[in-house]
Chains A and B, each alone.
Chain A
Amino acid sequence: MSAGYLLKRLLLAIPTLFGVLVVVFVLLRVVPGDPVTMMVGLTASEEDIARLRELYGFDKPIFTQFLIYLGDVLQGDLGVSITRKQEVLGLILGRLPVTLELSLFAMAVALLGGMMLGVLAVYRPGRGGELVADGFSGLGLAIPDFLWALMFILLFGVLIPLLPISGQIDPRLGFEPASGFYLFESLLIGEFAAFQSVLSHMVLPAVALAIPLAAIIARILKSSLQEVMTQDYILLARARGFSRLRIVLREALQNALIPTVTLSGVQFTFLVGGTVLIERIFSYPGLGNMAIEAVINRDIPLIQGIVLTFAVMFIALNLIIDSTYVLLNPRVRHG
């Protein structure tokens, strides 16, 4: 991908982010629920409330408030959390790695599972393989991630307690990664007890997040593989004595991955959005869990900061997905 293209995409991100800021800013001030009353409770005096409103700038007109906020954001200042009394940026940066690790792990699980099923369906069409793949993807599409999460908690937390169902790591280990990336850092510095604990805590939420996405990937990959398998170059590969497995994996898969990557990339952003509920269900200390608390407490600066972070994440993800597409498809490489 050329530098010019990258620059264009980055420039295009600016109006998007500005739009996100405007919408969230206005929405939070239009919906009912006053952050200051939430903070001080119903017994506080009128003067106290007025003083606090002034302190946080809520007394000024929305437009003025927005300009001040925009100026702060541009300088990298996302404000101070009302409930936690800490810098929003610091809070987010502490939680972001946790959510990123969970999402990426879930995505890896979804890609692996979805691709295996999609390939299986085409490798053994009409027989066992296709039936298994179709059955799984039907089920995976019909049941949403949070329902899988609840079923997993019942199944693996209560009936057969195999895996932890709450938190991110066994707190007795006292592992505090400097980077915030629990999984990567524990592996890198050889803290294998911590690594194992983080991984086992991650399995259930990640699989719950991954199943619907895996189902979609399996479906898309199956239909694009089926389409590719009718192409002349596949016929030629068969006429050259290649085995069916080799044809599916080496001749067809990369061609079929081109539409799959594009479509599953969009779905990945839904997966990241899904972490909000899943983290809540598994008490996973990520960005999504913090978002829900912030909403409940009307912690306006924190909500704004988290939404902005998600927006930046989505834009970055889309850019990465587009680059993958370019890698897979030589025909657009010289564009």
Chain B
Amino acid sequence: MTVAPTLAVASLRLDLGHTPILRGVDIDVMPGEVHGLVGESGAGKTMVGKAVLGIAPAGARIRSGSMTFLREDLIAMPERRRRDLLGRQIALIPQDPMTGLNPVLRIDRQMTDPLRLHLGLDRPAAAAKALDLLHQVRIREPERVLRQYPHELSGGMRQRVLIAMAFSCRPQLIVADEPTTALDVTVQRQILRLIKELQETAGTAILFITHDLGVVSKICDRVSVIHSGRILESAGVADLFDFPQHDYTRALMRATPRYDRPGDLLQPVPADLTARLIAEAEALDA
């Protein structure tokens, strides 16, 4: 018997109002795998993450397809069961650390609330666990940070707090939605390394949403390339970089700066290619 994927998304079609956003998305995230979902802005990659978490905006409607988490149907799942999974088995690392934390609540409240809800810890136990988690994400003076409000922390610190929260209940799956995009480059590296390290220790599967192929090369095991709500190509990370199959993947690589070849000129994705992809995608809507 083969290993069941932690997350399996198949032929997922989703409309926002009357606009098709996802046009048949297939992604399998295997246990312990970091699966990159790469695309330009507007490609639908964030919507895939939100659909998996069941937090798509009002007006979003799943037209067809399936999503399963450890063979359990995520679409037909009752609200109670979903709430039980979220935060405990499935967690989110949001894109912008500046807005991801609640500005009026102290860090300890924001960290301990889910611990108490999902793990049934009492207040002192949850506080001890929060302290331990902050140690793990290498925050200095964690006792002080726990008493602070988000506005008193730097962007990198906040993202570390959000990462600690995501890993706090030892989830099977984490949806990381551009977790390093809002950070400056030096902090980005540290955060990526931290996520990778925690992921390897805990064996968590991660759906890693990003627009940055450079980030993909550092952290992902497999990659899916998305455009206009369609997966164009899916491959192991080494294969994708060495033998990209799709024209768009090659175009995306030419548009990404490479540290190993600093002299190369960057080329934007050609307009006729984008037009062709959009036409192909819209042909699926009929």
Contacts and interface: CB of A to CB of B under 8 A. Distances in A.
B103 A236 contact: no
Given A243-B83, A331-B149, A251 B102 contact: yes
B87 A241 contact: yes
Given A233-B101, A330-B151, 11 more contacts: A232-B96, A235-B92, A236-B92, A239-B55, A239-B86, A239-B91, A239-B175, A241-B114, A241-B118, A251-B102, A330-B103
B117 interface: yes
A233 B114 contact: no
Interface in A285-335: 328-331
B95 interface: yes
A18 interface: no
B138 to A, nearest CB: 22
Contacts of B53: 238-239
Contact of B84 (A241, A250, A258): A241
27 contacts: A232-B95, A232-B100, A233-B99, A233-B101, A233-B103, A235-B55, A236-B92, A236-B94, A236-B101, A236-B162, A238-B86, A239-B55, A239-B86, A239-B87, A240-B86, A240-B87, A240-B165, A241-B82, A241-B86, A241-B87, A242-B87, A242-B117, A243-B83, A254-B105, A255-B102, A255-B104, A330-B149
B88 interface: yes
Contacts, number: 75
B85 interface: yes
Interface residues on A, range: 20 to 34
A331 B100 CA distance: 16
B83 A255 contact: no
Interface residues on B, range: 20 to 34
B117 A241 contact: yes
Contact of B85 (A232, A241, A331): A241
A2 interface: no
A238 B55 contact: yes
B94 A232 contact: yes
B148 to A, nearest CB: 9
Interface in B147-168: 149, 151, 162, 165
Nearest to A334: B152
Contacts of A179: none
